[in-house]
Structure 1
């Protein structure tokens, strides 16, 4: 927060937002700068960043924390994973907190302590520690954990040491079977402050408003040129390891990615032997500004429960604009270029998939005869079921 005693005004706040238009447009790949759709996408990123950071300004009180949406379909920043619900709570490193809730039945739920916040610094930082809620939940899924610098005297319940650099708690809830799994419920209570929250002072509200332009600028531009960097490195229609260890990535999870670029009459076949032991794996697509392609309304992501493996244990997916009739289809949804990203978590190996570009009409020639297929009518039903299932997940 600002140390200034001069209160922010709305007009001054709006004036600070004006340079953000030029800032984000300058980060857009040069080949897109005259594309009206891409420019409007950039403005949407600014809106998303405004929405995300405004939540912090309104309810992000470190003395009275609460878990709020971090990124999702409406706040499509930092390339959210299609299977993950992200929530966060702002904290102070000297506080005493109690986390309670129910783990639910989703594949896994992990709570992280994060240090310097990229929203505020514009720089990534490594996670400080993670807590798997499986380690603290009882047989019915309920959990209660004290988080503090020192374990309270006489306390014999679950305790998690609070890192002196921690300023945020981040919850990742990862689901495989969207329609049938139950998401985690969680609450945070600060125990070393009075229960009732006092009225905010003018300075507190001013400080929250004053830091927004910096946060909006950082959030909206952080990854705008990421896909272009992949292209410039030569990773077009091929993949490489993506190191997110310094960007709050999930410990134990391996990431890979690369840019894709295909025409409407082309397709990419991604193939990989799935490790014998693997808790979680998935594949998603992003557009050229590194927004995750709309997984609510398009068949643009697959995970280990949704995909069908071939008889030889390989996962083969087809990336294309046109539906090839293959069960494992990833729809580019109107974006003929963007990025492919995959995840392996707690697996016996982290293989790098191979990519082959083929004509859309020849896709079946390059797949096993036993490849699972779907009709157009079946695809319609699958997409509608995906949308209904994900809408019922707990975003807040």
Structure 2
């Protein structure tokens, strides 16, 4: 097969894959629902953009930490990325050696991990090794330097697998106080840069990347989209919290997860009660049925342990609803009557299963403790303004 026909064949295979992706999304019953069909359109187009950003575009010869190409919850909402977390990813050759340096910010948790591969590579498993900056002895405000390579080193070593040509170094920062906590500065460069390496990949490599991009999209749509809510509904029905029984390549091993499929009418609320002792961090995120993060900057579609008002009896109570119930701990469904809620706790040690209770909106004040804090419309607007400004500053918008 000549070069032109080989490239044409790869392109045709890619287009066939895109059609399969579209059929996976629009062939699902959710896409027939007038409320959920716009989300299907958004998912179909964003998954293609993310596949380009994370599968086709990266060049391990010239690594950098990408900030905005995936899991930025305002634009790339696929996968239910938490509004509390800023994700940065760099792609490297496991046979290479890299210097990582910067200055730690003030996020409540800063974690770095190495993934031996990436989604869509059709591996039976993806090895993950993770480190907390605290464990590495890097305190907030400290300048730091790490070395990522396959050969063992004594100090601040991130182990790579030299057999993996496309490893991902994943830097997560979890923000509890959106107003005061600041992100870290982090950079990466090869210890032995080779500037003669091509910037654009060959046609043969592009054909491989197109195939991998389709596999990436199929994996995300098949495992981390509408199937998330379907799994919970099959196990427990709606409005009941369950533990995570999935295996997420790339997930933070230090975290524990609870999931809930919500289904509420305009005049209904769901009270979620957490009977937990203090932990370094817990946070919730609301998504639609496609597991796309509900708009989190202009709406309070997430809450964490720093933002939530604890009741006088020591319990946390969150109120999930479409309409504002007035409670400070409101989780805004952003107009969705059905979708998914993810609750992350760090560390993921044993904690009591959260309780849920569906209550009519008109009865919410009698169902909550008298100590519950309520906000006036003016106070709500002020809180949302602070939320918006803190999040946009963190993402450099």
TM-score normalised by L of structure 1:
0.88
Match of 2:180 in 1: 180
Query: Are positions 1:380 and 2:378 aligned together?
Result: no
In the TM superposition, residue 270 of structure 1 has moved relative to its aligned partner by 0.8
- Structure-1 separation of matches of 2:330 and 2:345: 19
Cα distance, 1:199–1:258 mapped onto 2, change above 3 Å: closer
The gaps in structure 1 that reach 5 residues or longer are: none
In the TM superposition, residue 390 of structure 1 has moved relative to its aligned partner by 0.7
Deviates most, 109-118 or 126-135:
126-135
Match of 2:243 in 1: 241
- Structure-2 separation of matches of 1:124 and 1:107: 34
- Structure-2 separation of matches of 1:164 and 1:59: 22
- Structure-2 separation of matches of 1:390 and 1:225: 29
In the TM superposition, residue 9 of structure 1 has moved relative to its aligned partner by 7.6
- Structure-1 separation of matches of 2:355 and 2:179: 31
Is the Cα contact below 8 Å between 1:120 and 1:218 reproduced in 2?
Answer: no
Cα distance, 1:201–1:346 mapped onto 2, change above 3 Å: closer
SS of the equivalent of 1:120 reads coil
Is the Cα contact below 8 Å between 2:106 and 2:140 reproduced in 1?
Answer: no
SS of the equivalent of 2:7 reads coil
SS of the equivalent of 1:82 reads coil
**Aligned pair count?**
386
- Structure-1 separation of matches of 2:344 and 2:355: 15
Match of 2:77 in 1: 76
Residue by residue over 1:249-274, the C-alpha shift from the partner in whole angstroms, topping out at 9 and shown as x without a partner, is 21221111121111111111111222
The gaps in structure 2 that reach 5 residues or longer are: none
Aligned pair partner of 1:41 in 36, 39, 42? 39
SS of the equivalent of 2:120 reads helix
- Structure-2 separation of matches of 1:124 and 1:293: 31
TM-score normalised by L of structure 2:
0.88
Residue by residue over 1:301-322, the C-alpha shift from the partner in whole angstroms, topping out at 9 and shown as x without a partner, is 1111110101111001111111
In the TM superposition, residue 44 of structure 1 has moved relative to its aligned partner by 1.1
Is the Cα contact below 8 Å between 1:46 and 1:216 reproduced in 2?
Answer: no
Alignment root-mean-square deviation, CA:
2.7
Deviates most, 291-300 or 217-226:
217-226
Cα distance, 1:56–1:356 mapped onto 2, change above 3 Å: closer
SS of the equivalent of 2:36 reads helix
Cα distance, 1:267–1:36 mapped onto 2, change above 3 Å: closer
